[in-house]
Chain A
Amino acid sequence: MIIEDIANLLKNKYSESIEYLEDAKFIKVSASDWNDVALTIKNEDKLKFDYLMCISSYDCGDKKTYGVAYNFKSTSLNHYLEIRIEVTDEDSIHSVSSIWGSADWHEREAYDMMGIKFENHPNFKRILLADDWEGHPLRKDYDTPEYYRGMPVPKDKTYWE
């Protein structure tokens, strides 16, 4: 199926939470209905997206919203889909790690680097940085700390040499 057909199929079921602009390469889903939509695209006979290839996250800049992009493939029907969800700092997204196992670490990475929170995740903590790290480094408004546990982390060496 091409993405227009997928968007129409999902719009029939979840009219309010699906947003698809013409000629777009992705479908936007609101965070509130995401768990139901995820179960649908996994189990619906015409969709059968059994493979979650990647989860990426992005910073929308001045709007103070942060986005997640899910890339799916159906190995049996051989078609692809990108779904995007955008949330503010206060909101969280329902975890899909119980539906696609590969989401587990990808969601933890999205949290570690971009600070996107996922609900109902089985082991929700940082994956790469230390547990007591402050901030989320890939956010556009991130400031590199001066010290971490007494070790200097300056942007350049000039002022402590």
Chain B
Amino acid sequence: MKASDLSVLNKFNKDNVIVEKLDTLINWSRANSQWYFQFGLACCAIEMMAAAGPRHDLDRFGNIPRASPRQSDVMIVAGTVTLKMAERVKRLYEQMSDPKYVISMGSCSNSGGPYWQHGYHVLKGVDLVVPVDVYVPGCPPRPEALIQGILELQKKIKLQSPLGKEV
């Protein structure tokens, strides 16, 4: 099965039985229920809220905001990561249960953004404290860009092998 193949449901035959790897089933469920951690750091959070709202409707991808790190699968770092906040971000990431993923949203959390040269108080990229899976560029990214980042993360999750060797 190809990684991008979403059509598990199409494989049902007349007896409502499919034969497929358990890896695929697990990946399929993980990729389509990315509950994301509901916190924002700056203006990117406004775009994240817009993406979660009815017009862009993140719920249709199975992305439901959770207010606790213990119930979340994805951390969307939406905004400027100051040095004071960086330690909190790291602690919150460590409180999330495996499997956990990080989307770095916007220029600030990708690289420091407008603060990359003279910002004495800004971390130059959230990847210095937590491992990032998907970077979404933009300042701030539009909701469509965030949705594409989420879809890219879905592709990445489907390439994993939860029962076998680490890819």
The residues of A with any CB-CB pair to B shorter than 8 Å are: 129-130, 137, 142, 144-145, 148-149, 151-157
Contact = CB atoms under 8 A, between A and B. Distances in A.
A interface, over-half SS: loop
A130 B84 contact: yes
Contact of A155 (B111, B117, B129): B117
Interface of B: 83-84, 86-87, 111, 116-118, 120-121, 123-124, 128-129
Nearest to B86: A151
Contacts, number: 32
Nearest to B123: A151
Nearest to A149: B87
Contacts of A155: 117-118
B94 to A, nearest CB: 15
Nearest to B124: A157
Contact of B120 (A149, A151, A153, A156): A153
B120 A137 contact: yes
Contacts of A149: 83, 87
Given A130-B84, A137-B121, A151 B129 contact: yes
